[in-house]
Amino acid sequence: MASRDSQGLQIALIIFVMVTVVLAVTTFFFYRRSEELRKTALAKDESEKAARDNYNTENFKVQYLKHILGASRLADAEFKTVRDSVLSDADMKTIDDQYQQHMKTYGEGLAQDKLDYANLLPNMLLALRARNVANTNLSDQVNQLSNEKKQMQVDEQKRTQEALTGLQQAKDDLAAQLQQYEQDRAKLTKDKEDQLAAFKNNLAKFAADIDKVQKSDEALQGQMKKMKETIDDQKKKLDASQPRSFETADGLVTWVNQRSNTVWIDLGTADGLRRQTLFSVYGQEETGVAQSERKASIEVTRVLNEHLSEARIVEDNPSNPILPGDQLFSPSWKRGELVHFALAGLLDINGDRRSDRELVHNLITSSGGTIDAEVTETGEVTGDVNSSTRYLVLGEAPADRKALDAWTKMITAAEQLGVEKLQLDQFLSWAGYKREVRTIPLGSGASSNGFRTRPAPNKAGNAAGNAPANAAEGLPERQPPAPAAGGNSPF
């Protein structure tokens, strides 16, 4: 019984081992088959993806080609995406280059949404027809010009024949005139000989007459000298009796804004005013600048209308501020007329012994004046003093003899014509020019004379009602007076 059980176990063990081997072999074969199937599936996926990518690429190419052919146009953004995706293909790049070149060359006049080959041919046909019409017109013009040329040739031949006929006639006339000339020449020679004899006789008489005239001229020179002295004396008396220049204002200040350093004046486009014109400012109670001292100077910055302009304050005195109604003067500007000047001598404004002639030029011309004549410090003369010259601005007399002679001649000419003479400092003051402020040197070169003693503060001011002595330091900011109802505020 135990032997049978042992045999059964052996048989069962053998069967188990066989089944295990069969299962192992079967599992191995199934695993190997599954690996092969998995690799096949992956290969199919990659092939499908490549086919899909290829389809998309070819589809983009089709869309691009349909767009440029005009069969199915895309929106601008969509076409840009499609075009960017197909340009990596060399053939499509070539097609796109040709398309761009064709549209540029033959698509003139087409709208952006019409740039395709479907619209290109009709556009080219229209252009071709227009060219044909133009060529026809040109052909007609060529024929017309050809006919005109033939007619001109006929006319030219006719004129040539007439010219030849006229030339022969001129030759015949010349021969006749030469014959007449010889006859006239012989007669003229005889007449000259007769006149020469008469001239010699008259010359002797003239010599005697000249001697008499010279004696008479000396007497006249003496009389003229006395008359000139009389005229000079009368001119001095006349100048003394006449009012000085600028006795009437060129304009008035209408408004002041000390906060913005700005004033407004009653001159504008109708008065011929221009920007950068300088004016000196005098109090409204002053009767003439010849006897007055300017209180400020201003420069026109904007011409607002016919009788209103804005100006900046170039220089003023805080203790004597600009007020509405103050008078404006400029030697270089006059309402409705051009002021003429002459310049003579060394025009040194800042005392450095160098000429500031160009600055004086600018002061005159920027205000609308003009310069008729000049004598430089080297004696160089340009222009002439004439009856239109209003002022002669005098600088320092030159040291060179030649330059001094030219300087003296210009002054003499100005006096004879009644031109008013202005010293340079006087002109600068009237023109509203602000001189450069010199700094006081410190250190070893310093001097106590360069520093002014500041007066003690006086809150109440002086008896005459003027501002305190330290008004420049402590004066509160000035405000323009409030305009009355219906006043003339520039705003």
Q: What are phi and psi of 382, to 5 degrees?
A: -135, 135
CA distance 177 to 118: 85
The per-residue pLDDT for range 401-455, each reduced to its tens digit, is: 888 998 999 999 999 998 999 999 888 888 888 776 554 544 444 555 544 444 4
> What is the token pair recorded at 202?
């008259």
Closest to 331 in 3D by CA, of 436, 421, 240? 421
> What is the token pair recorded at 466?
């003027």
CA distance 298 to 280: 7
Q: How confident is the model at residue 244 (pLDDT cuts 50, 70, 90)?
A: very low
> What is the token pair recorded at 448?
């106590």
Q: How confident is the model at residue 484 (pLDDT cuts 50, 70, 90)?
A: very low
* DSSP bridge pairs for 391: 341, 420
Residues 432, 299 contacting (CB under 8 angstroms): yes
Residues 246, 291 contacting (CB under 8 angstroms): no
Hey, where are the domains in the chain?
Answer: 6-106, 251-431
Average pLDDT, the chain: 81
Which residue matches tokens 């600028």? 246
Look up residue 473 and give its DSSP letter.
Answer: H
pLDDT of residue 219 exceeding 70: yes
DSSP 242-297: SPPTT-S-SEEEEEEETTTTEEEES--GGGT--TT-EEEEE-TT---GGG----EE
CA distance 258 to 296: 13
In 350-482, the DSSP E strands lie at: 370-375, 381-383, 389-394, 420-423
- Residue 228's identity, in one-letter code, is K
Mean pLDDT of 340-345: 94
* DSSP bridge pairs for 341: 371, 391
pLDDT of residue 469 exceeding 80: no
* Model pLDDT, residue 131: 81
- Give the residue with greater pLDDT, 208 vs 160: 160
The per-residue pLDDT for range 293-305, each reduced to its tens digit, is: 889 999 999 999 9
pLDDT of residue 462 exceeding 60: no
Q: What are phi and psi of 396, to 5 degrees?
A: -75, 145
Which residue matches tokens 């000085």? 244
Look up residue 425 and give its DSSP letter.
Answer: H
* Model pLDDT, residue 277: 92
Between 145-154, 331-340, 343-352, 451-460, the lowest mean confidence (pLDDT) is in 451-460
Q: What are phi and psi of 314, to 5 degrees?
A: -80, -40
Report the helix count and the strand count for the chain, using DSSP H and E: 8, 11
DSSP 87-114: TTSHHHHHHHHHHHHHHHHH-TT--GGG
> What is the token pair recorded at 267?
């001159």
pLDDT of residue 13 exceeding 90: no
pTM: 0.43
* Model pLDDT, residue 485: 40
Environment class of 201 (CB within 10 Å of its CB; exposed 0-12, middle 13-18, buried 19+): exposed
CA distance 135 to 129: 10
> What is the token pair recorded at 244?
């000085």
Residues 311, 279 contacting (CB under 8 angstroms): yes
Between 6-10, 213-217, 261-265, 451-455, the lowest mean confidence (pLDDT) is in 451-455
Mean pLDDT of 201-216: 81
Closest to 369 in 3D by CA, of 394, 344, 393, 397? 393
What's the N-to-C CA distance of the chain in angstroms? 139
Which residue matches tokens 């006043």? 487
pLDDT of residue 457 exceeding 60: no
Q: How confident is the model at residue 324 (pLDDT cuts 50, 70, 90)?
A: very high
- Give the residue with greater pLDDT, 301 vs 83: 301
CA distance 348 to 346: 6
C-alpha distances out from residue 13 to 20, 21, 24, 27, 273, Å: 10, 12, 16, 20, 132
> What is the token pair recorded at 459?
């809150």
